[in-house]
Amino acid sequence: MTGVARRQRRALGGALACTILGAAALGLPASGRQDGPPTPPGRLLLTAAGDGERPEQPQSEPRPEPARPAPSREVTVTMGGDLLWHNTVWESAAADHARTGAGRGFDFDPMFGALRGLVQRADLAICHEEVPFAAPGGPFESYPVFAAPPQIADWLGDFGWDACTTASNHAVDQGFEGLHRTATLLERAGVRHVGTFRTAAERRRPVILEANGVRVAIVAGTYGLNGFPVPEGRPWSVSMLDADDLLGQARRARAAGADVVLVALHWGWEYTTLPNPQQVALARRLTRSPDVDLVYGEHAHVVQPITRVNGKWVVYGLGNMIAQQETARPDTYEGISVRFRFRERPRGGFEVVEAAYVPTSWNVYGAGGPIRITRHVPADRLARIREAVHALGGTRGLDEL
């Protein structure tokens, strides 16, 4: 019997069965007359007329479910600008501690409260700890040679930062001892340090963090050390702006299994909103490498452009996240944080599918009360930030949050 005939036979049997069922429900014979004894109640004659075969029942043939593609892995990374701990910054936190009783001598939560959601909602959050920490009990020192309160390290971990870059022009303000102490305090607080190294072996190990099954590596370097030499006998202790070395670090990170490699650079001319020739050339060199997915930086203390170079995002300067510099430089009292969402491509590798920046500003400590970072940036400051961010173009798809 062909498939067509089988479907016709099934249709006929189905129609006949419906007729018989309907008649039975009314207590009538199916033909409208009774040729024999009535069918006992509760019993239905389901035999079809014709060749005596019973109608075939539909067979449900199991169909294999189509293979569902594995969901693409994603990770969201947030990065912030310079944490420049001037004395009035920690004095403001000390005043907040006296009021709230929170923290160990300093309460930085009220100061940074506007950024808590941004940091804690990120899969990975990376800060820039520009200056070294002092020994417990101090002395604490401000500009030009810094030694910040060591309690900051615990606060960074509690606030939600996963890593901090430490390669900066202030990295050895307190010598190798201060560099070592800063790295150790951060690690004890659960915050990875990047760009300075306590041992030669640590220098050889890539810093890779994992979130959502995505492995993100961070490579960092600085243009210089404010005239201080690299610690004697420890040439490996600070990563510098050596393109070959930075690319080598990125290559080792990729070989160690990194899905995404970020390069964070302490570079540029201070208080200048456009990148200098070194920044431009280095960004081009780094983004040509398949081992680098994104480049970002800080040090200028003012916001610098975001753009694409060789098809990859480059953030030339995040500005400050917190500082109390000369009041004659109002643009040092504003900055941006950035957020990038990376998604795995079907054929391998990761790409940025969301790019955004968050403008911030804050007040001068003293007459303006305790320091408070705000995302409700005054119009004149917001216009200045936007102008800097978009100064080079190439920002299509970049959102402002």
Tokens 């049997």 found at: 13
Look up residue 147 and give its DSSP letter: B
* Strands 334-344, 74-83: pairing kind: antiparallel
Mapping DSSP onto H, E and C, the string for 265-290 reads EECCCCCCCCCCHHHHHHHHHHHCCC
Q: Which helix (H) or strand (E) holds 78?
A: strand 74-83
Closest CA to 397 of 341, 334, 346: 341
Q: Which fold has domain 75-400?
A: Purple Acid Phosphatase; chain A, domain 2 (3.60.21)
Distance of CA 313 to the CA centre of its chain: 14
Predicted local confidence at residue 71, as pLDDT: 77
Predicted local confidence at residue 207, as pLDDT: 98
Which residues make Cβ contacts (< 8 Å) with residue 43, sequence separation at least 6? none
d(CA 251, CA 206): 10
pTM: 0.83
Tens place of pLDDT per residue across the chain (401 aa): 433 333 344 343 444 333 333 433 334 343 333 334 444 444 333 333 344 444 455 566 667 666 666 679 999 999 999 999 999 999 999 999 999 999 999 999 999 999 999 999 999 999 999 999 999 999 999 999 999 999 999 999 999 999 999 999 999 999 999 999 999 999 999 999 999 999 999 999 999 999 999 999 999 999 999 999 999 999 999 999 999 999 999 999 999 999 999 999 999 999 999 999 999 999 999 999 999 999 999 999 999 999 999 999 999 999 999 999 999 999 999 999 999 999 999 999 999 999 999 999 999 999 779 999 999 999 999 999 999 999 999 999 999 99
d(CA 246, CA 223): 12
Kindly list the distances between the CA atom of residue 329 and the CA atoms of 228, 301, 324, 379, in Å, as whole numbers in the listed order. Answer: 26, 10, 10, 17
Strand partners, 238: 196
Predicted local confidence at residue 54, as pLDDT: 47
